[in-house]
Amino acid sequence: MWSRRTALLAPLALAACGFQPVYGPGGSGAALRNRVLVDAPEDRESFLLVRELEERLGRAAVPAYGLSLTIATTQEGLAIDPEGNTRRFNLLGAVDYALSDLATGQVVTSGRVENFTGYSATGTTVATLAAEEDAQERLMNILADQIVTRLITTGIS
């Protein structure tokens, strides 16, 4: 059970182990804010991903870093009814990313994030298309969160 003394000493313990808030002064979250130029989108998926990334990182007026992205998505049928129609799909997505210092051209960090969303195809054609587009949007949102989390935890200052 936490006592008042433990609660007062917890911040000191975190500071002693090197904990630093990413959005605090000098944190890597603040170091990337409005300083990352994301590759221009080429299709709907990349537009959605770039939009989400710029929402989290801001648009760079004077960029210090460039973020290149390679998106791959696949669709997988899950639920098949007695007539042989697929009624549920998973949308699988992966993004390879690389953050480069624009002054030197050196890659600062790179990696791959993966996730999935699902949607139902039980309604009309229009409802199924809307569900698929919503699943794409949710997937790009999730992947953007993962990319930003990885970028701000790399310790860029």
CA dist 70 and 96 (Å) reads: 5
What are the average pLDDT values for consecutive 10-residue runs of the chain, which has 157 residues?
Answer: 57 57 64 92 96 94 95 91 86 97 95 96 90 96 97 81
**How many alpha carbons lie under 13 Å from residue 45 in its C-beta half-sphere?**
17
Question: Are the C-beta atoms of residues 29 and 22 closer than 8 Å to each other?
Answer: yes
Predicted local distance difference test score (pLDDT) of residue 74 = 96
Specify the CATH class of 23-152 in words: alpha beta
Q: Which helix (H) or strand (E) holds 4?
A: helix 4-16
- Domain assignments of the chain as residue spans, ordered by start: 23-152
Predicted local distance difference test score (pLDDT) of residue 2 = 55
